[in-house]
Amino acid sequence: MRSSQKQRRDIHFVRFPFIILLITVSLLVFLNGRLVLALILIFSSLAILIISTGLFTHFFLPEIPPNIMRKILGKAITQGYTPRITVIRIKDGKIIDDQTFPSKFKPNCLVHIDSNSVVICFDQKTGYYILHSGIHHLPRSSSLCAIFPTTIQRLIFGPESEDSLSKSRSGEGLADFHVRVNAAKRTAMNASDGIVVYAKFECFYKIDIGHPNEGFLTFFKDILANNKNAASILPADYIQMYLLNLAIAQWRKICTLKTSGQLIDETPHKLDLDQAAKNGLKCLVYVSKVFLEES
Amino acid sequence: MNLSKKSLLEPSYRFTAVLKAILVLASLFILWSVLALISSIYQPLSFRGVAALESRASTSLADSLFLEIIQSYFSIFSVSVLVIIFLAVILGFLWARQFSNGIFPFYENQRPFSVLIKRFFKFSSHKIIDLANFEVLKKFNDLGKQIYGPAVIQILNNASALISKGNDGFRMDTSKGITPVQISSNERLVKILPQLLKDFTINLLAPSSNDLFNSLQFQFTFQVDDLPEKLHHSELQFLASCGYDDWKEILEPIIRLEFNYLLTKKKNSGLEITSLKQPDLDADGENNQSGSQAHSFHGSTIPVVRSRITRNRKRGQYPLVASDLEFISEPESRLAAMEMLQPLINEFIENLERTTIQLFGFIPIKIIHYEIGK
């Protein structure tokens, strides 16, 4: 039996006698003409339940801030004897334990963000804001907009090897061939001598959470506001596409100045992406290999 | 392993724990007395409890008083309200456990109730949780469960424990399995990092055409323990999800690319290649830096022994290409080649340092050794 199922069973096992006993005793006291005593009994029992929940939760998780604790207890009060506290767990830039979560609208829940993730939320009152690691409450007026990992990511754009540009291999389907070649040709560029070269970009990046987040937030505000699929969370690969475009723009400048031979001889190149740094991204891009179309 | 119970006790909390226990028991007794008093005065449930006692004929005043007290304390009202309160507390505990487990799942071998008692009374833990086993350790790390403090955990030799201090970030226990890891009541064990890959070696192609010396071998180590406190948090944040394997996967291509980038830069500016200057030698062939040269890279000192042959050559310039090395034989030639490559290595180390700071914000590795490979 799974741990969560066992816990639910345990709760059910205790909850049922608690309610039955409380109702029975209160009713008997009431029938004996002690209405006030019956009411005191009911309210004090519920108060003990709430206080003990808060106290024990505090002992288990002392890092929970008081406002979150109030929300948990509020849920326990408003939802009666079965508080269903939804916790969205975000680990390494992804939502876990919740396969049915394409939508960014999941209000009035708790969000637990691990130390390797950062979340951008939108609140109808305060606008966009960033949530860092920890346990947060997502109020009814807020929604999740984007989730990103804060650890160093490694990306490779363009052909992995010469083989990536080769013609259709035996046994390879047409669709697979197009996927492979299109991915490899994303970095195609004309050198100054007119020859097309294909570069392999190796990109390492990290969201700079230690830095004041204004740059990062400003960068994403417009994008999030214009997100075509407004009901869903911004795809995590957005940053990848952004970095690829920046790298290609930089690579284009280099290619216009050098011949294909020079580009190959001077490999690896290091691309300077200042714009990414301004937008709160620590980034390092190398052009590790350059291939010719013929090869 | 000798681990006395005495060493695990926190004497400063012993008095507090006893006091807390007394207070809890006293509060319970007061509550019970209040209920008995209410039961005696208001008689909320009219039918009497402890019928057997009532049927006995009272023989004296003392007996009568005792019977009255017993009847009040063990009346149906008192007992049933106490049971209700007990169930409310248990239910509160179960809710708290469910909620906590939803955020940071408990390790199977740890009982939440025991954790709660220890945390409430600030008790120390005597029971050692054994994670000094690869299978158990892998399961623990993969499932993402956490061990709530206070706890004593035996970990693998040379492993490090990543411990969350709640709102105060993380700390790394660097006892490396020699003594069991102790976590206090406001901490949680997040992950154990088996430091089998703490050191790693990378072979980089050297700019030599000589068959003997076609690579440079660098041995790196992750410098987790030696980081300044202010950097520790971000370092450990990264480690929280990535083990050394993942880290190496990120760092190795950076090291290779950085080295190749430097080589290409040198190769393309031919003037630079042939004008890398050797440190000046005095007239007697003695160098101010004596026979050994030390290069420091973040605390690590790398001695490079100057060979006798090269010392006597008194050349002002050292081309990086190894054609000059063909006349010298091993092992002196290795030393000579090493010296020739020294400026390049120094520059590489500087560049690598700059790059890692740019990307990580700190220097996650240090070179502990390098030599010319075959």
- Subunit contact B241:A14, Cβ cutoff 8 A: no
Report d(CA A6, CA A118) in Å as an integer: 32
B143 touches chain A (CB under 8 A): no
Interface of B with A in 293-322 (CB under 8 A): none
Question: Which residues from chain A sit within 8 angstroms of residue B95, using beta carbons?
Answer: 11, 53, 56-57, 76, 83
Question: Which residues from chain A sit within 8 angstroms of residue B114, using beta carbons?
Answer: none
Least confident of A172-181, B29-38, B67-76: A172-181
Question: Which residues from chain B sit within 8 angstroms of residue A208, using beta carbons?
Answer: 361
Instruction: Report which of residues B7 and A149 the model is more confident about.
Output: A149
Q: Which residue of A has its CA nearest to B231?
A: A210
Least confident of A48-62, A123-137, B67-81, B304-318: B304-318
Mean pLDDT for A103-130 is 78
pLDDT tens-digit series, residues A206-226: 887 665 567 778 778 777 777
Q: Which pTM value belongs to this model?
A: 0.70
Question: Which residues from chain A sit within 8 angstroms of residue B38, using beta carbons?
Answer: 37
Report d(CA B365, CA B51) in Å as an integer: 78
What integer pLDDT is reported at residue B331 of this predicted model? 60
Domains of chain B, by residue range, sit at 1-103, 104-112+122-194, 199-373
Query: Cis peptide before A159, with omega less than 30 degrees from 0?
Result: no
Which residues, at least 6 apart from B365, have a Cβ–Cβ distance to it below 8 Å? B220, B221, B222, B223, B251, B356
pLDDT tens-digit series, residues B95-136: 888 888 877 888 888 888 888 888 888 777 677 888 887 778
- Subunit contact A53:B104, Cβ cutoff 8 A: no
pLDDT tens-digit series, residues B315-372: 333 334 333 334 344 566 667 777 777 888 888 888 888 888 888 777 777 777 777 7
Mean pLDDT for B300-307 is 35
Domains of chain A, by residue range, sit at 3-78, 87-149, 153-292
The winner for highest mean pLDDT among A78-82, A166-170, B353-357 is B353-357
Instruction: Report which of residues B107 and B227 the model is more confident about.
Output: B107
- Subunit contact A21:B144, Cβ cutoff 8 A: no
Please state, in angstroms and as integers, the Cα–Cα distance from residue A172 to each residue in A161, B202, B328, following that order.
Answer: 17, 35, 54
- Subunit contact B94:A7, Cβ cutoff 8 A: yes
**Where residue B83 falls among pLDDT bands split at 50, 70, 90?**
very high
Least confident of A127-131, A284-288, B206-210: B206-210
pLDDT at position A25 over 80: yes
pLDDT at position B260 over 80: yes
Closest by Cα among A180, A51, A58, A87 to B102:
A87
Strand order in the sheet with B147-148: B147-148, B188-194, B159-164, B170-173
Mean pLDDT for B45-68 is 64
- Subunit contact B88:A154, Cβ cutoff 8 A: no
- Subunit contact B99:A57, Cβ cutoff 8 A: yes
B217 touches chain A (CB under 8 A): no
Report d(CA A153, CA B18) in Å as an integer: 51
Q: How far A210 CA lies from chain B's nearest CA (Å)?
A: 8
Query: DSSP class of residue B105?
Result: P
Closest by Cα among B259, B237, B222 to B164:
B237
pLDDT tens-digit series, residues B27-49: 999 999 999 998 888 888 765 54
Phi then psi dihedrals of residue B219, to 5 deg? -110, 120
What integer pLDDT is reported at residue B87 of this predicted model? 93
Q: Which residue of B has its CA nearest to A10?
A: B94
What integer pLDDT is reported at residue B82 of this predicted model? 93
Buried b (16+ CB within 10 A) or exposed e, A152-169: bbebebbbeeeebbeeee
B257 touches chain A (CB under 8 A): yes
